[in-house]
């Protein structure tokens, strides 16, 4: 076994990822990445609109396989067709919701944007560095 890795019985709290040391780097990176992620997500506005098929609202149409699957599952809980219809219908509904989201980034200064990105990417880099053997 490689000498860089510490035996689990002798590992201390500051030994992050099974290597010696790195707790301070890990915590600093984690705080930086969390702050950068929070600040980035707070600059995003998400809106939604109804999806349409041939000019009509298609949400009700996407419920048909789910309801048919639920009907078949109440009739026979072990039936594979009921599970496929229900889970497939839920996947269609989830995909429809995700595909019809509109995501906007609010205007921010260049300085604020660079600080957010440096916090996020720098924090991820520090967390990755703390996990490497020394």
Q: What is the pLDDT of residue 23?
A: 82
pLDDT of res. 25: 85
Provide mean pLDDT across the span 71-100.
Answer: 88
- What was the pLDDT predicted at 26? 87
**What integer pLDDT is reported at residue 9 of this predicted model?**
57
Q: What is the dihedral of CA 105, 107, 109, 115, to 10 degrees?
A: -20
| pLDDT at residue 101, as a whole number | 81
Residue ranges of domains in the chain: 17-43+107-129, 51-105
User: What pTM was computed for the model?
Assistant: 0.57
Q: Is the pLDDT of residue 11 over 60?
A: no
In this prediction, residue 86 carries a pLDDT of: 92
pLDDT tens-digit profile of 117-133?
A: 999 999 999 998 888 77
Look at residue 134 and tell me whether its pLDDT is greater than 70: no
pLDDT in tens, 19-63: 666 788 889 999 999 999 999 999 999 887 776 767 777 777 778
| pLDDT of res. 17 | 61
pLDDT value of residue 59: 74
């Amino acid at each position: 076994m490689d000498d860089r890795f510490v035996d689990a019985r002798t590992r201390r709290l500051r030994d992050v990822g099974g290597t010696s040391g790195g707790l301070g780097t890990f915590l600093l990176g984690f705080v930086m990445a969390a702050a950068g992620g929070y600040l980035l997500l707070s600059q995003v506005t998400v809106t939604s609109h109804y999806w349409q098929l041939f000019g009509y609202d298609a949400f009700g149409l996407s419920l048909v396989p789910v309801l048919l699957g639920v009907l078949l599952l109440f009739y026979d809980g072990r039936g594979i067709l009921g599970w496929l219809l229900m889970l497939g219908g839920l996947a269609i509904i989830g995909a429809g919701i995700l595909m019809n989201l509109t995501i906007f980034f609010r205007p921010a200064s260049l300085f604020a944007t660079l600080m957010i990105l440096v916090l996020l990417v720098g924090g991820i880099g520090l967390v990755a560095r703390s996990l490497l053997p020394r």
